Amino acid sequence: MLNSKAPSRQVLRKQKRGQQKEIERQINKEKDNFHRICYILNNLLSQEVINKIAIKTKVLKRNRKLSSHVLFSILWAGCLMESHAESILPLERMCIFIKNWFEIEIKPQSLQEKINTKNTAAFIKAIMAEVMKAELNKKLRKILKPNGSKLLFRRILFEDSTVVSLPETMKRIFKGCGGAASQAAVKFNFIIDQNSHHIVQMRLVGGSTPDSSLSGDILQSIEEEDLLIRDLGYFNLSALSKMISMKNVYYLSRLSKTVNVYLSKDCETQIDLIDYLKKKGIEKEGIDIEVFIGKTERLPVRLIAIKVPDEVKEARRKRYKAKNKKEPADDLLEWNGYTLMITNISKEKLSLNSLLIIYKARWKIELFFKNMKSHICVDRLTGYNKYRMLCLIYVKATITLVATILYSCAQLINRGGKEVSLFKFTKWLKDEGRLMRAFITSEYATLLVELENNINYLCMQNRKKDKSVWKEAEKALKYTADIKKKAWRVTEYTEDVKKAA
């Protein structure tokens, strides 16, 4: 048997030089990404952008000491530095803040008159819209996309909403459900990309607005190779029909009990779904079949169904009773004993069990809402002047958007393999006024370097008893290429931070 010839020293030296060049190329690319991200963040809410918005909304009619940038800065800082008993800092403390940071003296009454105006509310709303621009998300998405990583779907989009009660003076702007609930409430509707942690779309509507009426909003943002996952409240046959007609767009949704189900497109009689599934043996194992839904639409869908444990069925009954103040009917109670979902993902791509695991990952958006209320305090909105209330709503929504962008950067900086905790990260941003200082001074580069040094303390703890739902979902989705983890090595070029700022 012939022995394989060992590579010569010349070949080994050539391989080593190639490896060194690849390492240098990767470091240079990471340095370039770092500067590009800093440039985007520094120009996101620059004084020039804020001044243009101020002129457009007629907040800045002539030059004054209290400029538009100072006005937004104090609202920004006031919402980030509030105590648990306040929705924003008291006017006296805000005036002290302006004097210490901007060397401007202003009376609390004058500041209050400036905040409680229609133009100021329109000004803050326009800034929020500027941050939400699709162009910004597209730029960051290209930079923050990990090299070589590719799931079965380009984006995993979760859509859900949370409602915040408001004073009754706001009921004409944001109408609540009334009754035992508040007469005024605002609903924050979010579409979030779990892959990049970006907020794809945000909409603020009245609390009484049903989720089903918002189901068509996704059509403006969804793209090829996207997977949309949302709860039963967003079920809408019209929007679903338009989504199915789009090329390479996928969805996973709970099935509504009110929808007609047919075994074939030309079948005249709808089936009793629960009875049919029982005959198929759903009591023993899950069911995965092709059906058609809608009396006139007859949309072809893949139906997956499983029987849930008795404790889950009981929890659903209690939720229905708490919401509707009555017990569910017998047929609805039986329906709640099963989980029924529809999708257009083929069986070859994802199995029944994989789809169930992925749907559980929708809980991530609930953690996002909890973080909004715990650390950004979007649910603490006190006062009576409607324009003041609008300013608080829009400022806190803007802080949420910026914090989410920075959280995406944190996931990229992290090279330890653990997932960065959203709760720890948001608290870290607020502690010692980090996010406040970064915005006022436009020194996001310094913030990112500090984040690099502290990233290990902001990751989730590895506990054997607590499995990450999203990690399980990632395994189910299967990578089609090996993940090459990025290592920023920010500490190797901290001298260039001042240039980036």
Residue 271 has a CB neighbour count (10 Å cut-off) of 14
| 85 vs 429 pLDDT, higher one | 429
CA distance 30 to 471: 25
Q: Is 18's pLDDT higher than 60?
A: yes
- Average pLDDT for 167-196: 86
In the chain, % of residues over pLDDT 90: 26
CA distance 23 to 396: 41
Domain boundaries defined on the chain: 39-128+402-500, 242-349
CA distance 453 to 135: 30
Q: Residue 368 — very low, low, confident or very high, per pLDDT cuts 50/70/90? A: very high
Q: Residue 300 — very low, low, confident or very high, per pLDDT cuts 50/70/90? A: very high
Query: Are 191 and 158 within 8 A, CB to CB?
Result: yes
CA distance 429 to 447: 9
Query: Are 35 and 496 within 8 A, CB to CB?
Result: yes
Q: What is the pLDDT of residues 192-239, one digit of tens each?
A: 988 878 888 999 999 999 999 999 999 988 988 899 999 888 999 999
pTM of the entire predicted model: 0.83
CA distance 54 to 51: 5
CA distance 219 to 240: 10
Q: Residue 491 — very low, low, confident or very high, per pLDDT cuts 50/70/90? A: very low
HEC profile of 180-211:
CCCCEEEEEEEEEECCCCEEEEEEEEECCCCH
Length of the chain measured in residues: 501
Amino acid at residue number 449? V
Tell me what pLDDT residue 467 has. Answer: 53
Tell me what pLDDT residue 498 has. Answer: 40
Q: Is 365's pLDDT higher than 70?
A: yes
Q: What is the DSSP string of 287-331?
A: EEEEEEESTTT-EEEEEEEEEPPHHHHHHHHHHHHHHHSSPPPHH
| 151 vs 203 pLDDT, higher one | 203
Q: Is 295's pLDDT higher than 60?
A: yes
Q: Is 147's pLDDT higher than 70?
A: no
Task: Kindly give the pairing relationship between strand 226-230 and strand 198-206.
Answer: unpaired
Among 175-184, 452-461, 466-475, whose mean pLDDT is lowest? 466-475
Residue 484 has a CB neighbour count (10 Å cut-off) of 11
Q: Residue 432 — very low, low, confident or very high, per pLDDT cuts 50/70/90? A: confident
As a whole number, the mean pLDDT across the chain is 82
- Average pLDDT for 12-36: 71
Query: Are 222 and 412 within 8 A, CB to CB?
Result: no
Q: Residue 459 — very low, low, confident or very high, per pLDDT cuts 50/70/90? A: confident
Tell me what pLDDT residue 63 has. Answer: 58
Q: Residue 343 — very low, low, confident or very high, per pLDDT cuts 50/70/90? A: very high
Phi-psi region of 248 (alpha: psi -120 to 50; beta: other; left: phi over 0): left
Q: Is 186's pLDDT higher than 90?
A: yes
- Reduced to 3 states (helix: H, G, I; strand: E, B; else coil), residue 104 is coil
Q: Which residue has the tokens 């009426």?
A: 213
- Reduced to 3 states (helix: H, G, I; strand: E, B; else coil), residue 228 is strand
Query: What are residue 221's phi and psi, to 5 degrees?
Result: -115, -25
Nearest to 336 by CA among 310, 362, 355, 366: 310
